[in-house]
A and B are shown apart, each in its own frame.
Chain A
Amino acid sequence: MTMRIGVITFPGTLDDIDAARAVRHAGAEPVALWHGDHDLRGVAAVVVPGGFSYGDYLRAGAIASLAPIMTEVIDEARRGLPVLGICNGFQILCEAGLLPGALVRNAGLHFVCRDQRLRIDSTETAWTSDYTRGQEIVVPLKSGEGRYVAGAATLAELEAEGRVVFRYVGENPNDALSDIAGIASADGRVVGLMPHPEHAIDPLTGPSTDGLGVFTSVLTAVAAA
């Protein structure tokens, strides 16, 4: 049976159709999840896509982290449901307390859209097992508040536990601490990253197909569970 992967839409979500397309390209069935529902519709994993949920009012991701659907996501993630947060989704997962640290305004103060080189620093997560450690990939980055920050203790813990999953290679586009582009939860089931792997699944519309591995990895992870 085809695996079902949920893609959440909040008011102001933009990259939901892209995330759903990437799920399809990976061979799974995307399932639309609505922000106002308390229902994960039995999906095996969840993608929290990019955009400007609730207009990024208050703080990016702050309001979305309190949406009805997120109550379910938080509960299930604590039981091991694989969850991927991309860009605004990463911000939401940080606000929801599923991932440590925060995303703040880019050091250059501008929105930055570019094809970004990344290094995979951990393949021990539900979303990166199909890559090899140290592999370099190119996927689009497009964000104005993408600078990852966290306290020294948190950073040390992330590094010590191998939970920095994606790191910027070359010029750091937003002055993120330790070049961090993405991190994982302690159990490796929840991953958040600022760049957009869902925009790099087809050479016609993206800079590479390097992002597809994120969506195929979770199929392996769920099948193994």
Chain B
Amino acid sequence: MTGTVPQVDSIDSAVATPDQPQPYRELGLADDEYARIREILGRRPTDAELAMYAVMWSEHCSYKSSKVHLKYFGETTTPQMRGRMLAGIGENAGVVEIGDGWAVTFKVESHNHPSYVEPYQGAATGVGGIVRDIMAMGARPVAVADPLRFGPADAPDTARVLPGVVAGIGGYGNCLGLPNVGGEVVFDPSYSGNPLVNALCVGSMRVEDLHLAFASGVGNKIILFGARTGLDGIGGVSVLASETFSGDEDGSGRKKLPSVQVGDPFTEKVLIECCLELFHAGLVVGIQDLGGAGLACATSELASAGDGGMQVDLDAVPLRATGMTAAEILASESQERMCAVVRPEDVERFMAVCRKWDVLAAVIGEVTEDDRLRITWRGETVVDVPPRTVADEGPVYHRPVERSAAQDALVANTPDALPRPAAPSELRAEILRMAASPNLCSRAWVTDQYDRYVRGNTVLAQPADAGVVRVDEESGRGVAVATDCNARFVALDPYVGTQLALAEAYRNVAVSGAEPIAVTNCLNFGSPEDPHVMWQFAEAVRGLADGCATLGIPVTGGNVSFYNQTGDRPILPTPVIGVLGVFEDVRRRVRCGFTRDGDAVVLLGATRDELGGSEWAHVAHGHLGGRPPAVDLAAEQRLAALLAAAAADGVLTGAHDLSEGGLAQALVESSLVGERGARIAPPPGLDPFVALFAESAGRALVTVAEPDAEAFLARVGEAGVPASRLGTTGGAELVIGELPALSLDELRTAWEGTLPALFGSP
């Protein structure tokens, strides 16, 4: 299409036509929000200004419903917890020091709604976006992981969404050369019309290479580099991510198709290498990635965080579509773009590095003396605003918060009366059924589509409790990362459930042998306009912040994703919690499973009759109700300290966290991953069913060499961790008490067959 040059809606024309109707509602702005923009500017906004405010004041960018709750993180983070933290909430990603002059940055973000509309591109650009966040801190991205939630495994739409999402994550991540080291795949009917596609990225850097997003130094140039700007993804944050989502064929889901971004991982890979070379050459004063809200976000955030104003000329932006308006250029969410602040004398060297990598770059503006963000297009000024009003001083809502009466009924509906298997043959059959169930079966169908080896620093990846990556090849210093959330527990008690998610991620990191040091999150909830959802959210935030304070590790950043619901039915509240741990030497990592014959198998932690929200209640009875397991963060701390110390001493030959599916599932996985069975006596004094399927927190299954067993048990006792010796590894069968033996072949068939049967052979 060529031809029609759009009319420029300049500041002058806005002043001249104060009463011109503007489509602010279609852009997602409320009446009072529009009125406030007019008040700030003292006139009506231009089309371009309206587009900027609309995307920046969207729920996704402004956190307008969550802000009042999120500030509790700041209030509960002590100076001691901040000890290792170099950058925290509010930056592109949190950064923590891990020793020897190394720092690590990590963050999780959601790309839920785009991934429902167009699974492949939605998931792919989710990876791309989080990777650029990590790059914007000055780090080299070194690993990714993807916590995923889908509708029922056998639902027809899951067969559309899941393979596309997995292929998109693989297609983008594999092509970027980032190992995928973990993540989750969970099925639940509440995610049917609203899957959760969260993406985590970890980056590493030398402490002195930390970069922050700000535009400072009058006269410094603003350089946009990477891909061209096109019409894709316009309104992604405001239209897709910040509204209740209707995905039916004739509904708005179809109309919103153009709001999904399209990714090109090759461009991003080249951009990574280009950025790192620019950082190392000292050519970057400030840097910001272009993600949600595109240039509107990057320019206003850079200017808002800096010490001056900014002048930008949109005519200098390289475009890939003709006839774009200023508003479209500002709101475009075209992928693989970054924005840098560069000293004038460095511009030529900056451009030379970009040319080396065949990366397109253009000077689009400069830092100015006053405190305005001015944007021109076709010679006319189309934006003239105080940048803070766009980026930081958006609306703040105190949404109604109310625990609904239905919560009482949910809690009252305990699993106590559910029929439980008791006979040995029934228990055996239940173990097989559970192992084959969609939430517990092998994830190989998914993870085998991801490259876990690239860069040669992956020490642990699936199947493992945590992904472990070496950061420094000389010393072996490295990190572990795990994400977790049992959303059923959160639904039963958002405060406790979120602490259980924190405890599980913390424990998974500890089980791998690392010391947990920092927390990130991706808080996936329903509509903030639903008071019960806001109650879940507020409780979850409080639970997480209090939990982190108890554990003494800080929340370094996070992401809020609201409006995850189908019609008026919200998803299970799903605050995905990521925990980062540090290793002085990754050679001390502890592998998952029974790694050697003849080792002693020890269960750490106490088991109670806790089946509310359990996988067993879900699989056997489709039941969700009662209380979640109790959480004891002090006990988690003792367990983690014990595991880290034992790992450092090289005592543990294997370890595995107990979570969904309880001891039974941990035994099955330990046998299959380690490719050897074990003879096990269930812990004494417990009903065998409870011993096998209860989901009490604070537990891990470990193995130690037989000669070390006695000393280890003594050490466990001194550490104040309950323990019972369960048996010995070896053989081709898993033998549990009186139960008929389970052959590894039979277990493997059950565990590995489910996803290929549903989604086709890989």
A-side residues, CB < 8 A to B, are 11-12, 14-15, 17-18, 21, 51-52, 54-57, 108, 110-114, 140, 142, 144, 196, 198-199, 202, 204-206
| CB-CB contacts below 8 Å: B351-387 with A | 357-358
Which single residue of chain A is at the shortest CB-CB distance from B180? A113
Contact of B188 with A by CB under 8 A: no
- Residues A52 and B453 in contact, CB atoms below 8 Å apart: no
Residue of A nearest to B273 (CB): A11
The answer for the CA separation of A12 and B266 in the assembled complex, in Å, is 6
In the bound complex, do residue A110 and residue B762 qualify as a contact, i.e. CB atoms below 8 Å apart?
Answer: yes
Contact B459 A52 (CB under 8 A): no
Residue among A51, A56, A110 having the largest count of chain B Cβ atoms under 10 Å? A110
Q: Is the CB of A55 within 8 A of B167?
A: no
Q: How far is the CA of A173 from the CA of B176 in the complex (A)?
A: 23
Interface contact B459-A12, CB-CB below 8 Å: no
A residues less than 8 Å from B499 (CB atoms): none
Q: Are A206 and B266 in contact (CB under 8 A)?
A: no
Task: Name 13 interchain pairs, CB-CB below 8 A, sorted by A.
Answer: A15-B177, A55-B266, A56-B175, A56-B266, A112-B448, A112-B762, A113-B450, A142-B453, A142-B454, A202-B456, A205-B453, A205-B459, A206-B456
Chain A proximity of B100: nearest CB distance (Å): 18
A50 to B586, CA, bound (A): 26
Q: A111-B174, A142-B174 are in contact. Are A18 and B456 (CB under 8 A)?
A: yes
User: Bound state CA distance, A45 and B199, in angstroms?
Assistant: 40
Q: With A11-B358, A54-B266, A55-B175 in contact, do A17 and B456 touch (Cβ < 8 Å)? A: yes
Encoded as 1 (CB less than 8 Å from any A CB) or 0, chain B from 239 to 280 comes to: 000000000000000000000000011110110000000000
From B174, B266, B357, A57 is in contact (CB under 8 Å) with B266
Q: A11-B357, A18-B455, A52-B175 are in contact. Are A108 and B762 (CB under 8 A)?
A: yes
Assuming the A-B contacts A12-B266, A55-B175, are A113 and B456 also in contact, with contact meaning beta carbons closer than 8 angstroms in the complex?
Answer: no
What are the residues of chain A within 8 A of B455 when measuring CB–CB?
14, 17-18
Listed from nearest, the 4 A-B pairs whose CB atoms lie closest are: A55-B266, A14-B177, A18-B456, A199-B453
B588 → chain A, closest Cβ, in Å? 11
Q: Is the C-beta of B470 less than 8 angstroms from some C-beta in chain A?
A: yes
B527 contacts the other chain (CB 8 A): no
Interface residues of B in 492-545 (CB under 8 A from A): none
Q: Which residues of A contact B171 (CB under 8 A)?
A: 111
B230 interface residue, CB < 8 Å from A?
no
User: Contact flags (1/0) for B461-504 with A, using CB distance below 8 Å?
Assistant: 00000000010010000000000000000000000000000000
- Minimum CB–CB distance from B455 to chain A (whole Å) comes to 6
Give the complex CA separation of A111 and B470 in angstroms.
25
Which residues of A sit under 8 angstroms from B267, Cβ to Cβ?
A: 55
Given contacts A11-B358, A55-B264, contact A113 B270 (CB under 8 A): no
Interface pair A113/B449, CB less than 8 Å apart: yes
Residues on B with beta carbons closer than 8 Å to the beta carbon of A52: 174-175, 265-266, 269
Q: Give which listed residue, B270, B450, B454, B586, contacts A11 with CB less than 8 A.
A: B270
Does A18 contact B454, Cβ atoms closer than 8 Å? yes
Q: Are B456 and A199 in contact (CB under 8 A)?
A: yes
Contact of B459 among A51, A55, A108, A204 (CB under 8 A): A204
Assess whether A205 is in contact with B457, with CB atoms less than 8 Å apart.
Answer: yes
A152 to B638, CA, bound (A): 65
Residues on B facing A (Cβ under 8 Å): 167, 170-171, 174-177, 264-267, 269-270, 357-358, 447-459, 470, 473, 586-587, 760-762
Cα of A198 to Cα of B453 in the assembled complex, Å: 10
**B416 nearest CB across to chain A (Å):** 44
Q: Which residue of B lies closest to A11 (CB)?
A: B270
Contact partner, B269, options A12, A18, A202, Cβ 8 Å: A12
Q: Contacting B167 at CB < 8 Å: which of A110, A140, A199?
A: A110
Q: Which residues of B contact A12 (CB under 8 A)?
A: 175, 266, 269-270
CB nearest to B449 among chain A residues: A111
Residues of A within 8 A of B448 (CB): 110, 112-114
Which residues from chain B contact A21 at a C-beta distance below 8 Å?
Answer: 456, 473
Closest B residue to A200 using CB positions: B453
Q: Decide if A55 touches B449 in the complex (CB within 8 Å).
A: no
Contacting residues, chain A, for B473 (C-beta < 8 A): 21
Task: With both chains docked as a complex, state the minimum distance between the C-beta of B759 and any C-beta of chain A, in angstroms.
Answer: 10
Give the Cβ gap from A176 to chain B, nearest Cβ, in Å.
15
Q: CA of A19 to CA of B266 in the docked complex: distance in angstroms?
A: 20
Cβ-defined partner of A112 (8 Å) among B266, B357, B449, B453: B449
- In the complex, which of the residues B174, B175, B761 contacts A108, with contact meaning CB atoms closer than 8 Å? B761
- Are B177's CB and A204's CB within 8 A? no
Contacts A11-B266, A113-B451 given; does A205 touch B174 at CB 8 Å: no
Q: For residue A209, give the distance in angstroms from its CB to the closest CB of chain B.
A: 13
**Residues of chain B within 8 A of A108, CB atoms compared:** 760-762
Residue of A nearest to B762 (CB): A110
> Which of B171, B455, B457, B459: most chain A CB closer than 10 A?
B455
Residue of B nearest to A51 (CB): B177
A110 & B453 in contact (Cβ 8 Å cutoff): no
Cα separation A202 to B455 with both chains bound (whole Å): 13
Contacting residues, chain A, for B270 (C-beta < 8 A): 11-12
Cβ B449 vs Cβ A110 within 8 A: yes
A108 to B266: give the CA distance in the assembly, Å. Answer: 24
**B749 to nearest A CB, angstroms?**
15
Q: How far is the CB of A104 from chain B (nearest CB, A)?
A: 17
Best-buried of A113, A114, A204 by chain B (most CB within 10 Å)? A113
CB-nearest residue of chain B to A54? B266
Task: Decide yes or no: A206 and B453 within 8 Å by CB, A113-B448, A114-B448 being known contacts.
Answer: yes
Residues of chain A within 8 A (CB-CB) of B449 are 110-113
Q: Which residue of B lies closest to A108 (CB)?
A: B762
A14 — which chain B residues lie within 8 A by C-beta?
175-177, 269, 454-455
Residue of A nearest to B473 (CB): A21
Separation of A149 and B453 alpha carbons in the complex (Å): 26
User: B760 — which chain A residues lie within 8 A by C-beta?
Assistant: 108
Q: Which residues of chain B are within 8 angstroms of A196 by Cβ–Cβ distance?
A: 453
Residues in A whose Cβ lies below 8 Å from that of B177? 14-15, 51
Q: Determine the distance from Cα of A206 to Cα of B270 in the docked complex, in whole angstroms.
A: 26
| Given A108-B761, A110-B167: A205 touches B454 (CB 8 Å cut-off) | no
- Nearest-neighbour CB distance to chain A for B357, whole angstroms, equals 7
**In the complex, A11 Cα to B459 Cα: how many Å?**
27
B347 to chain A minimum Cβ distance, whole angstroms, is: 23
The complex places the Cα of A204 from the Cα of B591 at a distance, in Å, of: 11
Complex: A205 Cα to B455 Cα, angstroms = 10
Q: Which single member of B176, B357, B451 contacts A142 (CB below 8 Å)? A: B451
Alpha-carbon distance A113/B448, docked complex (angstroms): 5
Residue of A55, A111, A114, A205 touching B456 (CB-CB under 8 A): A205
* A53 nearest in chain B by CB position: B266
- Are A113 and B266 closer than 8 Å at their CB atoms? no
A22's nearest neighbour on chain B, judged by CB, is B456
Per the bound structure, the CA–CA distance linking A110 and B444 in Å amounts to 13
The distance from the CB of B734 to the nearest CB of chain A, in whole angstroms, is 23
Task: Kindly state the separation between the CA atoms of A21 and B762 in the bound complex, as whole angstroms.
Answer: 31
Contacts of A55 in B (CB 8 A): 175, 264-267
Chain A residues lying within 8 Å of B587, measured Cβ to Cβ, are 204
Which of B269, B357, B470 is A205 in contact with, Cβ under 8 Å?
B470
- With A51-B177, A55-B265, A110-B449 known as contacts, the answer to whether A198 contacts B762 (CB < 8 A) is no
User: Separation in Å of the A112 CB from the closest CB of chain B?
Assistant: 6
- In the assembled complex, the Cα of A204 lies from the Cα of B583 at a distance in Å of 14
Chain A nearest CB, measured from B384 CB (Å):
40
Interchain CA distance A18-B264 in the complex, whole Å? 24
A111 CB contact (under 8 Å) in B170, B357, B453 = B170
Known A11-B269, A56-B266, A111-B170; further 16 A-B contacts with Cβ < 8 A: A14-B177, A14-B455, A17-B456, A18-B456, A55-B265, A108-B761, A110-B167, A110-B448, A111-B174, A111-B449, A111-B450, A112-B762, A113-B447, A113-B452, A198-B456, A204-B459
